[in-house]
Each structure stands twice: as structure tokens, then as C-alpha cells.
Amino acid sequence: MKLFEESKLGTLTLKNRIIRSATFEGMCDAQGFPTEAYKELYTELSRNEIGAIITGFAYIAPDGRAMQPGQAGIDSREKVKFFKEITDQVHNNDCKIIMQIAHTGRQTLSSSTGYSVKGVSNKKSPYFNQTPKVLTTEEIKALAEKFGESSLYAKDSGFDGVQIHAAHGYLIHQFILPSINDRDDIFKIDYELKIGIGFLDLVIDKIRENCGWDFPILIKVSGSDDYKEQFSTKQFINLIKFLDTKKVTGIEISYGTMDHALNIFRCSKIPIDIILKFNQKYKIKNKTLRAVWKYFFYGFASRKVIKYSPAYNLKYSILAKAYTDIPIISVGGFRTGTEINNALNEVDFISLSRPFIVEPDYIKKIKADINYKSKCINCSKCAIMSDTNESLRCYSNFNNSELL
Ligand SMILES: Cc1cc2nc3c(=O)[nH]c(=O)nc-3n(C[C@H](O)[C@H](O)[C@H](O)COP(=O)(O)O)c2cc1C
């Protein structure tokens, strides 16, 4: 069966065609160093027949940290020996591990980073709601250098590659989108392509300058988004064509931005009680007020939320496949071995996030029964709770009644 066949991702040999998609852990200390919990998480995943693991997003500079506590940082050489302990464990278990690297740009809070929020333009993220300080041309070039240096730290830490986070509304995505990028310098929207590729182009070059051409570079992009000026199919195709010219190692196709975060994850039912209790922006302390809000405003607030359906980004992944020979990885909503195997007739790899949170041994289960369905019920409480001090776990399949 294609799904369990050994496969090549650039120079990397994977034992099958399933990848663990980047999933924020919240398991690092205040300076972004990995803790024992981070090590245990990846050691455990690597024992379970996963083709390759992509870590949660790690910041390349402290001003590009996420709002969530416990994020990993790959911003200094000091970190190398600590991450090396993790990659050694993973390699001992015959598994590959790739670090996802990111800068949050406007999608963070100065109260979390201790720095002013930086942006491509002064346009605020509707969700994070802080007017960014516009990056100068020189500052942007310096950030591209940082992506290069961080990739070298990742390489020296033993990671088998990096994944550039160019999806979900973070800094690189902010450069790509004409709805956010209104610059008139070399990082502006390309007149013909109608997308902003200047920064991404430089980031890829800087990674290669630092790590060499052989070092695998994956990239995660969003097929579209939920802004009024929506990213079009034509623009998405132009992005894929551009990546084709850059000869990256693999392209993972996701969706959306953190301004409409539930549309990245997709839920069967919106976890409204958890949102009203724990989300930094929407939480309401008073129980009665919570009930009132739910009764009167919930319908309106949820109108833009797209419901879960299986394999929900496959259509963008198939489209990408038509414009490049670079391996395409589809992420989003795969829950049975049959769904995965069928999708592999169209794309090269399938990646999963939530199923591995509840069942790190999910691959062993679908190997035993291809129709086995993940225990993940797409409640996405794991994603909502990652904004709190809690580290990554499943909130539906165990007794977590204290939360509700
Ligand atoms: C708790 C949680 C944390 C996530 N963290 C990241 C992340 O750090 N980087 C990223 O690109 N995507 C992240 N995602 C998105 C997933 O990689 C994936 O694209 C999405 O969950 C859809 O896949 P799934 O249906 O298999 O969960 C996260 C998702 C969840 C649920």
C-alpha cells in the first residue's frame, strides 16, 4: 500500500508517507530552551513509525515570538546542544525530525514578547489588534539573515531540515498577501505575480548560504484565507510556480491565518465554552455574562467559521501538484488510513497534527486496520488551550472535567 511504502523527500528517506505536521508544544522555558517534556514528546512520537516529524514553530528572533507561553526558540547558538539531545533521541529511533522556523510579525502581543510588534505594514491583525511598527528595508534584510543563522543552528542541532512557516498569517505570509503588504521597496507586491515574494526569496537564499544546497528546506503555505480581499486561486498558483523556481524540498499546503484560526483547524462543533473561559481575547470571567453572550452573540460571531470535513485542504494540494514536481504534502482533516491512502493517489505525502496528540501510535493502528478512525473528534480544544500555560495535550479523550 502506497501509504506504508518507503519514500524520498529530497535527500531524506522516510519509512512511509506520513508526516507529523507542526504542532505547537508549549514545552520550552521562558528563554525558548527545550524542557524534559519537549524531549519526551518527540522521543515518544519517534518510536511510533512516523515518516518524519515537524516540530511546532520555533522563533528565529525574540521579537518574533508567539503570544503563547512555552515556545521553542532557535535564535542563538547556545540552544544547539540542548536541541541536539532531542534530535539524537529521535534518530536513535530511526525517525527524521525537521524544525519549523517562524517570525510572528503582527500576529503577537508586545506584552508577550517584550518588544514592539513588527509588521510588513501598519495594518493591524484584527485578532491581535496591535498596530505594528513598520519594518524598514534594512530591518527586513536583517531578519532574512536571522532565518539563515537560525537554520544553521537547527542544522547543527541535528535537525534533518527546516520548514519555513509561510502560512497561517505569520510574517512571511504577511509579505505574500496584497491585503497586508502595501510596501513600495524591494519587498513590495510583485506587479505580475500579484503576491509579495521578495522576502521569502531572500530567506530561502540565506538558508542555503548558511546551510548549503543539500540541506532540506520545506515550506508551509496557505491555499487561501478569510480576509475580505481573499487570496485568489491565481495568486496561489503563482506562489507555487515561484516555489518551483526556488526548488525547495517539499511544500505543505494548509489554509488561512490566525485572524480566523478556527478555519485553519476546523472543528466539528465550536468549543465555545472553552473559548469564553480561556481565550485571551474572548474570555468572560462572569458565568452569567458568559451564558448571556453565548445566547445572544454566538450565532453572529460564528458565521465565518468553516466546519470540519475530511481532507479539507486536498483541493489546494491537488491544484499545487499541477504546477510543480516538488513533493506536495497535504494537511488538514485526515482521520482514517483509507482517506490517507486515497489522497496519496493525488499528492506525495499526508501530514497530521491532532490525531498524533491523542494517539502517538496512530500509524501502528492504521497498519493493523486501514479503516481505523482516529480518536480525534476535531474539537480543537488543544488549539484553544495552547494560548494558556497548559502544554500540548488532548482535552476530549480523557477526563478533563475540571476545565468545563
Ligand atoms: C494544538 C495545535 C498546534 C498547532 N501548531 C502549529 C504550528 O506550530 N505550526 C503550524 O504550521 N501549524 C500548527 N498547527 C496546525 C497543524 O499543523 C495543522 O495544519 C492543522 O491542525 C490541521 O491538521 P489536522 O487536521 O491533522 O489537525 C497546530 C494545530 C494544533 C491543533
Amino acid letter, residue 267: C
Residue located nearest, by CA, to atom 22 of ligand 1: 332
In a domain, 400, yes or no: no
CA of 168 to the centre of ligand 1 (A): 10
CA of 191 to the centre of ligand 1 (A): 32
Contact (Cβ atoms closer than 8 angstroms) between residue 206 and residue 101: no
In a domain, 58, yes or no: yes
pLDDT in tens, the chain (404 residues): 899 999 999 999 999 999 999 999 999 999 999 999 999 999 999 999 999 999 999 999 999 999 999 999 999 999 999 999 999 999 999 999 999 999 999 999 999 999 999 999 999 999 999 999 999 999 999 999 999 999 999 999 999 999 999 999 999 999 999 999 999 999 999 999 999 999 999 999 999 999 999 999 999 999 999 999 999 999 999 999 999 999 999 999 999 999 999 999 999 888 888 888 888 888 888 888 888 777 777 777 778 899 999 999 999 999 999 999 999 999 999 999 999 999 999 999 999 999 999 999 999 999 999 999 999 999 999 999 999 999 999 998 765 544 54
Instruction: Note whether 220 and 169 are same-domain residues.
Output: yes
Instruction: Note whether 276 and 374 are same-domain residues.
Output: no
Instruction: Note whether 239 and 344 are same-domain residues.
Output: yes
Q: What are phi and psi of 74, to 5 degrees?
A: -125, 50
Q: Taking Cα atoms as reference points, which of 219, 91, 75 lies closest to residue 154?
A: 75
Domain that holds residue 124: 2-266+307-395
In a domain, 404, yes or no: no
Tell me what pLDDT residue 399 has: 55
CA of 357 to the centre of ligand 1 (A): 10
Query: Cβ neighbours of residue 259 under 8 Å, at least 6 residues apart?
Result: 107, 125, 126, 127, 169, 226, 227
β-bridge partners, 349: 329
Instruction: Note whether 300 and 172 are same-domain residues.
Output: no
Contact (Cβ atoms closer than 8 angstroms) between residue 78 and residue 393: no
In a domain, 402, yes or no: no
Tell me what pLDDT residue 287 has: 82
How far is the first Cα of the chain from the last one, in angstroms, to the nearest whole number? 42
Q: What are phi and psi of 162, to 5 degrees?
A: -120, 155
| Structural domain count of the chain | 2
Tell me what pLDDT residue 145 has: 98
- CATH number where 383 lies: 3.20.20.70
Cα(106)–Cα(128) distance, integer angstroms:
7
Which atom of ligand 1 is closest in space to residue 392's alpha carbon?
Answer: 1
Tell me what pLDDT residue 278 has: 87
CA of 133 to the centre of ligand 1 (A): 28
Instruction: Note whether 191 and 285 are same-domain residues.
Output: no
Phi-psi region of 129 (alpha: psi -120 to 50; beta: other; left: phi over 0): left
Residues in contact with ligand 1 by the CB-under-6-Å rule are: 21-24, 56-57, 100, 165, 167-168, 220, 254, 264-265, 331-333, 352-355, 382-383, 386, 392
Which atom of ligand 1 is closest in space to residue 382's alpha carbon?
Answer: 1
Residue located nearest, by CA, to atom 28 of ligand 1: 23
In a domain, 277, yes or no: yes
Q: What are phi and psi of 19, to 5 degrees?
A: -120, 145
Instruction: Note whether 152 and 277 are same-domain residues.
Output: no
Instruction: Note whether 120 and 166 are same-domain residues.
Output: yes
Which atom of ligand 1 is closest in space to residue 355's alpha carbon?
Answer: 26
Instruction: Note whether 296 and 371 are same-domain residues.
Output: no
Enter the C-alpha cell of residue 274: 472553552
Tell me what pLDDT residue 339 has: 98
CA of 363 to the centre of ligand 1 (A): 18
In a domain, 122, yes or no: yes
Distance set, CA 49 to CA 99, 145, 258 (Å): 18, 35, 31
CA of 351 to the centre of ligand 1 (A): 10
